[in-house]
Amino acid sequence: MGKGEDTRSMILDAALAQASEGGFESLTIGTLAARTGLSKSGLFAHFGSREELQIAAIDAAAARFADTVFAPALLAERGLPRLRAIFAHWLRWTDDSGLAYGCPLHAAAIEFDDRPGPVRDHLVGHYERLQRNLERAFALAVDTGELPADADPGQLAFEALGLVFAYYHAARLLRRADAAERARAAFDRLLAAAAPAA
Amino acid sequence: MGKGEDTRSMILDAALAQASEGGFESLTIGTLAARTGLSKSGLFAHFGSREELQIAAIDAAAARFADTVFAPALLAERGLPRLRAIFAHWLRWTDDSGLAYGCPLHAAAIEFDDRPGPVRDHLVGHYERLQRNLERAFALAVDTGELPADADPGQLAFEALGLVFAYYHAARLLRRADAAERARAAFDRLLAAAAPAA
């Protein structure tokens, strides 16, 4: 990486940390200048506007999510082992990514759901890719015969996403110590309920 | 209701509409003055500070949620009919309450998860009551024999909450036409998977 790319990457790390902590509403050229120690004009040289900065932060978070959750799961065998790997990585992904205050994409999903525009479009793009990748992982478990031929990967992906949201809620708002255990039990139940009759 | 209570109730309606649309971050004495046509000093007479206003809005939303989702479900027989009534009302509650931009409590849960203080405390109070009320509804279905004695109401309530979050996400961010249908199918699967072996 050249120096410019290095700096851009450092700025995006700081932007994600800011969005994790205070939401995208708090992510401005000003808060980012304070956080990085760079000048506002220096930041404007990298991102021409607050909107460009927000889009770059969404895309950086989505790329980091894919690298942390889906990419390493490809090492697990397709079918149930890979599904379990995806879910396990997902529960840990913000911790593994140094995002101590929770998933910035999840925060953005609430903040931007009623704000049409390019930021929302990039966010929807991330969640649609996530849905497709999850569906594909469930479909592979149908191919291996671990899930029955009439299992509905779209429905299972919908439900798995809900379990992660329930986990975020229990862990971050309610500070429940059993949040991850509840989420893992729920995912096991989801797979067991979908399994072919013995 | 006296005139003061009438005005307070009208102000809180406007506060919930504002929080539904722009999140609690957008709920200030200033935006509320613009929305209601009341003066800032008039609003300060009702709510001494922005924090008091936010707390009153959280409590008003929680009361409206209880009135819209749980109270009418008491008319259904305890057990599965009541659980299905709760879930059906829940999916519709923001529409039934005139909150066109989604659940303000859900938005607040993300905004305040890392901000200790009385607003967060009131919000946690709401979600803990919700969890208890849901658990009780599942426990009654164990009493009626519709769910087996070893069903775990805490686990089922955790999962049902996740389904509602998945519904909000699919309906509001992704604008998916099948969001409610997916959520209902998921709730049916949850109850069927928990049912006693035939």
Q: What is the pLDDT of residues A134-161, one digit of tens each?
A: 999 999 999 999 999 999 999 999 999 9
> Which whole number is the average pLDDT over B64-77?
96
Which tokens hold the place of B12? 């809180």
Decide if B102 touches A, using CB distance below 8 A.
Answer: yes
Identify the three-state secondary structure at position B140: helix
Question: Is residue B9 in a domain?
Answer: no
d(CA A146, CA A143): 8
Decide if A128 touches B, using CB distance below 8 A.
Answer: yes
pLDDT band at B24 (very low <50, low <70, confident <90, very high): confident
Number of domains chain A contains = 1
Decide if A51 touches B, using CB distance below 8 A.
Answer: no
Residues in chain A with CB shorter than 8 Å from the CB of B28 are: none
pLDDT band at B198 (very low <50, low <70, confident <90, very high): low
Residue A23 is predicted with a pLDDT of 85
Range of the domain at A105: 56-194
Identify the three-state secondary structure at position A120: helix
Interface test with B, best of A20, A94, A114 (most B CBs within 10 A): A114
CATH number at residue B94: 1.10.357.10
Q: How far is CA B23 from CA A15, A19, A139, A181, in A?
A: 21, 15, 37, 30
Residues listed for chain A: 198
pLDDT band at B1 (very low <50, low <70, confident <90, very high): low
Question: Is residue B32 in a domain?
Answer: no
> Which whole number is the average pLDDT over B141-148?
96
Question: Is residue A16 in a domain?
Answer: no
- What digits encode the pLDDT tens for the residues B72-99? 999 999 999 999 999 999 999 999 988 9
Question: Is residue A47 in a domain?
Answer: no
- Residues A70 and A48 sit within 8 Å (Cβ to Cβ): no
pTM of the model as a whole: 0.94
Scanning B23-152, the segments in alpha helix (DSSP H) are 29-36, 40-46, 50-65, 80-96, 104-111, 118-143
Burial of A150 by CB count in 10 Å (0-12 exposed, 13-18 middle, 19+ buried)? exposed
Residue A2: pLDDT over 80:
no
Question: Is residue B50 in a domain?
Answer: no
Contact assignment for A123 to B173 by CB distance below 8 Å: yes
Decide if A40 touches B, using CB distance below 8 A.
Answer: no
Q: What is the ipTM of this complex?
A: 0.94
Contacts of range A140-143, beta carbons closer than 8 Å, 24 or more positions apart = A140/A78, A140/A79, A140/A82, A141/A78, A141/A79, A141/A80, A141/A82, A141/A83, A143/A78, A143/A79
pLDDT band at A22 (very low <50, low <70, confident <90, very high): confident
- What digits encode the pLDDT tens for the residues A42-88? 999 999 999 999 999 999 999 999 999 999 999 999 999 999 999 99
Residue A3: pLDDT over 90:
no
Which tokens hold the place of A88? 């396990």
Question: Is residue B40 in a domain?
Answer: no
Question: Is residue A44 in a domain?
Answer: no
Question: Is residue A32 in a domain?
Answer: no
Q: What torsion do the CA atoms of A30, A31, A35, A38 make, to the nearest 10 degrees?
A: -10
Identify the three-state secondary structure at position A148: coil
Q: How many CB pairs lie under 8 A apart between chains A and B?
A: 113
Decide if B185 touches A, using CB distance below 8 A.
Answer: yes
